[in-house]
């Protein structure tokens, strides 16, 4: 049975590579990942079969027949899991790991339903496939009748080859190309070890905080005054936005547009895939634009706590602490305390990722989600009858209709889109199919061969064009409102989408950041590195100095201030969470620590590997210090002491 298992595992490797290379345009060849991929498969094979042998031996003491059935069942289940992980990876290019355990059962079901994979036909096919696997394993028992000596020879040769490959690797297992490294992994092995790590090594911390070695070289000097609240500090944030605005006659309205999966790779100046956001590109010409901006997480779960509060991640993202949020402040709560009204609009379910719980904690004045749409609006297209909710144009139209016509209080308004998300189903399909082809040829000036490569991701690129059109319609409608002239608009993405292969490990976090307003006195492009963490403290410092708003004396946001340097530099020190349960990346200045490997960062967030053991140890120490404080916060809920706003 183990030989049949081995043959099928190797077959699944070739199937995975075929699916990946048929579905994606990759900057490397099939043979560059085959050898190391097979090596990882063989390693997992020995590990898995060795463990199963122990269990098989124990059961066989009671019944050899039951032991055979038991092992046959385990082999079958393992192969079904491997095939499922293969199909998952071939679509997302991200191996499934600890993040599997970070979502609730209902959220997982919603995700699978939206993808169109959870249907009776697929369930029947899985059942048939499992029966076929059991038959093949039984066939192995009938036909694989080799001598014990032959088995020993095969095993010995395999171990020698494995040992030789470990001592002298065929290919370096570490690569700055995250996609390339992910392809090499055996997906079952990755999930198994991530599962073990998740259940065995969680929530450990030591009450031993630096407080704070990373102040050096940073823009804002923070006074961490209480070890029992390791994220709380006192600091004076400089107003870096004021020089770019005309004098304010009154507190301005602020509108955030959070665009799903809007990465810098395909939006705006220096987009290396070419820009698919012509309206946002035109808006850039009249805006403040940060070309080297990063999100704090690689998935949507981090956008609200990241951009509005700069919060630590907890174990699975801050929003997973919804049953007992640690006391904290946010841009929403601080502005409400300064007499702002806060309104939030989304076309999806507010309960997904517990976003609604976070917003309710901030006591927003108006929260409109999938249940708050008028009957005249149709839900987004669907493969199965289930969809995430309403498309972006409907989101903006519905939201604008529900805004008050006359308000006496300043406004904070947030619109969060969702169309540019798997399964990437765009309304007005024929129109956007034509528009995409026209954009590729007329705007990006691509030849026929290049157009063909881009059309491999046709559904994805169409949703980006659609999202950009939705923002254009929104801004055209908003410009007719009386409050427009006193409004500041902030546009950003929550993360870069993973379905188009990424150029580096930092690429997933690289997102646009645009501030537009009729109040601006001049536009500008900035190359200083910044992040979502810098948005809230920078906006609050601006409103404090320009509009006289009162701010809390003690803060917990991890950000500095937006860097307005015209040349590339980085004065950040921050962790970043790839997926829920995956805290693997850390930034410090112009260095990037990713899964234990050190890189230098340059303009456009290009990264290059570097060897410096002392610096690696330093960044590892700072990163572990953050994790220590993060786990302490989860267990004690000590984040922000009680205080008064002055």
Mean pLDDT for the stretch of residues 273-294 = 97
613 has a pLDDT exceeding 60: yes
Q: Helix, strand, or coil here: 115?
A: helix
Q: Where are the domains of the chain?
A: 2-200, 232-561
7, 2, 11, 4: which is closest to 55 by C-alpha? 2
The token pair that represents 247 in the structure block: 């004098």
Find residue 579's DSSP bridge partners: 582
Decide if 627 contacts 615 (C-beta within 8 A).
no
Laid out side by side, the sheet with 573-576 consists of 573-576, 585-588, 591-594, 597-602, 606-609
pLDDT for 165 equals 67
The alpha carbon of 527 is separated from its chain's Cα centroid by a whole number of angstroms, namely 23
Tell me how far apart the alpha carbons of residues 169 and 392 are, in angstroms, rounded to a whole number.
49
The CB-based long-range contact list for 592-598 (8 Å cut-off, 24+ gap) reads 592/505, 592/506, 593/619, 593/620, 593/623, 594/505, 594/506, 595/505, 596/620, 597/174, 597/176
Burial (CB < 10 A; 0-12, 13-18, 19+), residue 564, is: middle
| CATH class given for the domain over 232-561 | alpha beta
Q: Helix, strand, or coil here: 577?
A: strand
204 has a pLDDT exceeding 70: no
Give the range among 66-75, 95-104, 197-206, 305-314 with minimum mean pLDDT.
197-206
Tell me how far apart the alpha carbons of residues 587 and 607 are, in angstroms, rounded to a whole number.
12
The token pair that represents 221 in the structure block: 């000097």
> What's phi and psi for 55, nearest 5 deg?
-65, -40
Decide if 373 contacts 579 (C-beta within 8 A).
no
Tell me how far apart the alpha carbons of residues 525 and 144 are, in angstroms, rounded to a whole number.
68
Say what angle helices 392-402 and 458-478 make with each other, to 10 degrees.
Answer: 20
pTM of the model: 0.86
Tell me how far apart the alpha carbons of residues 303 and 324 are, in angstroms, rounded to a whole number.
19
Find residue 493's DSSP bridge partners: 259
271, 257, 178: which is closest to 461 by C-alpha? 271
Tell me how far apart the alpha carbons of residues 29 and 612 are, in angstroms, rounded to a whole number.
30
The token pair that represents 132 in the structure block: 């076929």
Decide if 177 contacts 41 (C-beta within 8 A).
no
Q: Give the pLDDT band (50/70/90) at residue 211.
A: very low
Q: Give the pLDDT band (50/70/90) at residue 24.
A: confident
The alpha carbon of 257 is separated from its chain's Cα centroid by a whole number of angstroms, namely 18
pLDDT digits (tens, 9 = 90+) for 449-478: 999 999 999 999 999 999 999 999 999 999
> Number of C-alpha atoms within 13 angstroms, CB side, residue 353?
18
> What's phi and psi for 193, nearest 5 deg?
-70, -35
Tell me how far apart the alpha carbons of residues 462 and 421 are, in angstroms, rounded to a whole number.
11
The token pair that represents 471 in the structure block: 């923002």
193 has a pLDDT exceeding 80: yes
Give the range among 3-17, 28-42, 588-602 with minimum mean pLDDT.
28-42
Read out DSSP for 191-211?
HHHHHHHHHHS-S---S---S
Say what angle helices 31-60 and 2-23 make with each other, to 10 degrees.
Answer: 150
The alpha carbon of 200 is separated from its chain's Cα centroid by a whole number of angstroms, namely 24
Read out DSSP for 504-530?
STTGGGB--EEEE-TTBS--EEE-B-E
Q: Give the pLDDT band (50/70/90) at residue 119.
A: low
| Better pLDDT: 106 or 245 | 245
213 has a pLDDT exceeding 80: no
Mean pLDDT for the stretch of residues 435-453 = 95
Provide the percentage of residues in the chain whose pLDDT is more than 90.
61
């Amino acid at each position: 049975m183990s030989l049949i298992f081995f043959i099928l595992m190797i077959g699944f490797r070739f199937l995975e590579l075929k699916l990946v290379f048929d579905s994606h345009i990759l900057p490397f060849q099939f043979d560059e990942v085959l050898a190391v991929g097979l090596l990882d498969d063989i390693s997992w094979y020995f590990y898995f079969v060795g463990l199963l042998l122990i269990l098989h031996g124990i059961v066989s003491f009671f019944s050899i027949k039951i032991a055979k059935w038991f092992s046959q069942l385990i082999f079958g289940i393992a192969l079904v899991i491997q095939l499922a992980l293969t199909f998952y990876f071939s679509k997302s290019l991200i191996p499934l790991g600890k993040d599997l355990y970070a979502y609730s059962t209902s959220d997982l079901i919603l995700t699978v339903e939206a993808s169109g994979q959870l249907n009776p036909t697929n369930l029947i096919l899985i059942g048939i496939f499992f029966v076929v696997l059991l038959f093949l394993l039984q066939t192995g028992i009938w036909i694989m009748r080799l001598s014990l000596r032959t088995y020993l020879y095969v095993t010995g040769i395999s171990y020698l080859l494995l040992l030789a490959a470990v001592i002298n690797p065929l290919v370096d297992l570490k690569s700055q190309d995250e996609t390339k490294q992910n392809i090499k992994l055996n997906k079952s092995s990755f999930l198994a070890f991530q599962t073990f790590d998740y259940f065995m090594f969680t929530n450990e911390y030591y009450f031993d905080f630096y407080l704070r070695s990373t102040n050096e070289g940073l823009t804002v000097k923070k006074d961490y005054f209480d070890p029992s609240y390791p994220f709380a500090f006192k600091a004076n944030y400089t107003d870096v936005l004021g020089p770019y605005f005309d004098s304010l006659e009154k507190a301005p309205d602020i509108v955030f547009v959070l665009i799903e999966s809007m990465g810098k790779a395909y939006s705006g100046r220096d987009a290396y895939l070419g820009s698919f956001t012509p309206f946002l590109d035109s808006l850039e010409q009249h805006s403040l634009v940060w070309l080297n901006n990063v999100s704090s997480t690689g998935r949507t779960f981090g956008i609200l706590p990241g951009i509005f509060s700069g919060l630590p991640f907890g174990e699975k993202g801050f929003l997973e602490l919804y049953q007992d949020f640690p006391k904290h402040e946010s841009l929403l709560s601080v502005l409400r305390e300064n007499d702002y009204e806060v309104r939030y609009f989304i076309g999806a379910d507010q309960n997904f990722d517990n976003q609604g719980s976070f917003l309710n904690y901030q006591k927003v004045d108006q929260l409109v989600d999938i249940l708050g749409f008028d009957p005249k609006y149709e839900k987004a297209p669907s493969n199965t009858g289930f969809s995430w909710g309403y498309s972006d144009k409907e989101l903006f139209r519905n939201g604008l209709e529900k805004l008050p016509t006359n308000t006496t209080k300043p406004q904070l308004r947030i619109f969060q889109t969702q169309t540019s998300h798997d399964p990437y189903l765009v309304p007005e399909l024929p129109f956007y199919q034509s528009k995409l082809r026209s954009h590729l040829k007329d705007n990006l000036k691509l030849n026929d061969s290049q157009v063909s490569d881009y059309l491999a991701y046709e559904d994805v690129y169409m949703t980006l064009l659609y999202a950009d059109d939705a923002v254009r319609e929104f801004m055209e409608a908003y410009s007719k409102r009386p409050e427009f002239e006193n409004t500041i608009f902030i546009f950003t993405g929550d993360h870069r989408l993973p379905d188009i292969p990424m150029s580096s490990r930092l690429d997933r976090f690289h997102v646009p950041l645009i501030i537009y307003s009729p109040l601006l006195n001049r536009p500008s492009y900035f190359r200083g590195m910044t992040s979502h963490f810098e948005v809230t403290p920078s906006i609050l410092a601006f409103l404090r100095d320009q509009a006289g708003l009162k701010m809390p004396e003690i803060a917990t946001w991890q950000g500095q201030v937006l860097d307005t340097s015209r040349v590339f530099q980085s004065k950040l020190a921050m962790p970043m969470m790839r997926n829920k349960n995956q805290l693997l990346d850390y930034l410090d200045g112009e260095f990037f620590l990713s899964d234990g490997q050190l890189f230098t960062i340059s303009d456009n967030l290009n990264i290059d590997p570097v060897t410096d053991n002392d610096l690696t140890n330093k960044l590892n120490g700072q990163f572990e210090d953050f994790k220590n404080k993060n786990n302490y916060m989860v267990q004690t809920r000590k984040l922000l002491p009680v205080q008064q706003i002055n």
